[in-house]
Structure 1
Amino acid sequence: MEGTTERVLRLLALLQRRPSWTAAELAAELGVTDRSIRRDVERLRALGYPVHATAGPAGGYQLGAGTRLPPLLLDDEEAIATAVSLRLASGGTVAGVGEAALRALAKLDQVMPPRLREEVRTVHNATDTFGGSSEIHTDTLMTLARACRDALRVRFRYRDEERTVEPVRVVTGGRRWYLMAWDTGREDWRTFRLDRMRDLKTTTWRFKPRDHPDPVAYVQRSVTDAPYRYLARIRIKAPPDQVRKLIPPLAGRVEGNVLIFGGEDLDWMAVYVARIPFEAEILEPAELKTAVANLANRLTRLV
């Protein structure tokens, strides 16, 4: 049985290597008869691989697309290229791609041999990108992704404090990455920025998942309600769906037709408000009204 299993896996690798093979070519590659090839093809079909057969002198076998994606066999070069691409994509800004790439990378990293994992790390360490998100080490993402999947507590230093948490989900807002987790020390849900974590370690403590709020909504509210120096509330005369398009989800939120966002610099906030393409009214804070008025005066003098 071991010989049959190994041969079936080799057959699958061959079918993934090029679009079409004749039965004779496959038999020669594997050192078996055409009849053995037919039996092995049926075994692949039973496992969910859509192997198509074409009769005639020019016929052969072809691995087709099915209703679901079956497991793939990757050689060393393909595995390294895939892992490097996923690492880069996990830090990207394309909607939905970052988190999906992170999940796929966690699966690949789990089964990748140590020698290939080191090759991937070498390539990644020698690669830089510019623009986009805060600097996040991929090992941090991988550690947290596995801990969320396996329901394992993690421990790290955060603003010079040691925290032990039960991670639920990693959430990205395009420019920053956050972890939603149950803080065992404070006995409450908390949001943590990944770029502020230090000395991250996975423990052996497996926890029972708790009922939890929606991770994206919770992180969004935590970030927008963070202790900023100023918290702006702007009533905008436009439909809520159009108002939501004005600001990234983790930079602010919309309640009805009121846009809420925080900031530390009134001048920057005034510029942002001035760029709103709809009629709007500043509800608070009063300091922002003054900053916008000052900006308007400066612009008037310029022209």
Structure 2
Amino acid sequence: MPQKDFAGDKKYYRVLKILNLLNEKGKVKIADLATEFDVTERSIQRDIERVNMTFGLEQSGKGEYSFAAGVSLKEMRLSGEQLSALIFMNEIFKGMGGAFSKSFDALFHRMTKSSPWESPYAIIMPRPGKGLDITRLIPDAETAVLERRKIRVDYVKNGILTNRILAPLKLLVDNGFYYLLAMGGKKGEYTKYRLDKIKSLELTPETFTPPANIAKAISDATSVWGAMPARDRKIVMRLKIGPSAADFFSKKEFFPLQKIIRKNPDGSILLESRLAQFMEAIPTILNWIPDIEVLEPEKLKTEIRSRVEQYLKKILP
């Protein structure tokens, strides 16, 4: 499959360019932008809506937009919450690598007259390693999700290159990696695909109808492993959290549909959660050992014990 050129006419570049034009010229016209970027006016309208959601625009004429009164990148005053969100977005764009990261750095400087490090906020998350640049895939992947169009991808799994036709549902970010959640073979089943393992992506003219429950499937998840239909959450998990970790688990939802079912006099708590698969819980459980204990199901308890034993065999003489 031939590689495609993802130049400045793609979505994120367009949004950044529109912001610059608004700031420098005061207004933009949809028709002019469509001609400049060689895209439809409908595509530009979606770009305008993205800008409006974050910055605030007003229609100054037919198909013409400008910043709302008092809004300017030159004079923008960000609240603590807005600055925190902007810092988080900066880290997300870093994860994409390449031109997106550089473009957002420039935008951040223009909006705040500073670098991200000069702000009072810092987001700690895994950083992209060398060679992780997914900018060539993002624009068409986003188009496919928004326009509900199927895609043809070359995907590497276990070292083998395979060709697949997918119905993309959402782009997910989890632990510093980007995933494409999509429907593939069996109807109603969702599968995640790591974006950096997609070697090529091609839009097809064929459209599809997303499942009605996709929003709940994602909102219930606490990791990429949990983006599953609610009907698949058949595993009831119960955990005992030790006193030193109980405060963390009381104030943050580490597992899907997590709830505290008992608080013990010694400060420990019992948690209950509903899983679609064990991998929704295994990484977190291993991370919190020895302050966490699996009570049920028995199969999960056995799996955790097996992993710990395998590790101990490697390090013990």
TM bucket normalised to smaller: 0.3 to 0.5
TM-score, length basis structure 2: 0.42
TM-score, length basis structure 1: 0.44
